[in-house]
Amino acid sequence: MTDKQLRPNAQPWRGLIAQGFVRVEDAVYVGLGTLLAAIALVLLVAVAVAFVQALLGATLPDRAVDLLDRILLILMIIELLYTVQFSFREHALVPEPFLIVGLIAAIRRLLVLTAEFARLLEKGERAFQGAMLELGLLTVMIVALVVSLVILQKHSPRVVADGAEARP
């Protein structure tokens, strides 16, 4: 006897359970997407306000690194939002958006770290050595993420969203 003959009603129940999980997954994706979009919009408004304040107060050069840091944070959130959108639409998880988020995060930290070099020199040699070690590790991480993205793009088909250009 086959498995289906032993349990004739098992198949419909499995389908219903699977549909329930898909609905829960969709609800979670919608919630995550909504929260990420709200956070990105609030941060965008905050960065715009901070930019205008820095511009009017003639402190833009002093605030440029902080503003860039916030802008890169918004880019990370947008990439996460794209990942949630893609996962919701296709019910598939792809690694490229996560690699891009990691790349943006590493570049963000690298920029902030290099902008703080003058302050690190004032703190002493130990702080400067720690920053140099972090800078080296960030560089290795950035190279590894870029190589991973290149390999994935060469070996996986590109996904095209409805009416949108292909994204990695």
How many CB atoms sit inside 10 A of residue 111's CB?
15
6 Cα distance to chain centroid:
47
For the chain, state the CA radius of gyration. 23
Residue-wise pLDDT for 98-139, tens only, equals 888 889 889 888 988 888 777 777 788 888 888 889 999 999
Task: Report d(CA 65, CA 149) in Å as an integer.
Answer: 27
Every domain of the chain and the residues it spans: 11-159
Instruction: Answer for the pair 154, 160: CB distance below 8 angstroms, yes or no.
Output: no
Provide the pLDDT for residue 131: 86
Closest by CA position to 111, among listed 68, 76, 163: 68
Full-prediction pTM beyond 0.95? no
Low-confidence ranges of the chain (pLDDT < 70): 1-10, 157-168
* SS3 of the chain: helix, strand, coil, percent, to 5: 85, 0, 15
**Tokens 């306000």 found at:** 49
Provide the pLDDT for residue 162: 44
Provide the pLDDT for residue 158: 55
Instruction: Answer for the pair 142, 103: CB distance below 8 angstroms, yes or no.
Output: yes
The answer for residues whose C-beta is within 8 angstroms of residue 162's C-beta and 6 or more apart is none
How buried is residue 77: exposed, middle or buried, by Cβ count under 10 Å (0-12/13-18/19+)?
buried
Strand partners, 160: 166
Quick one: angle between helices 10-56 and 60-90, nearest 10? 170
Provide the pLDDT for residue 8: 55
Amino acid of residue 53:
Q
Provide the pLDDT for residue 49: 96
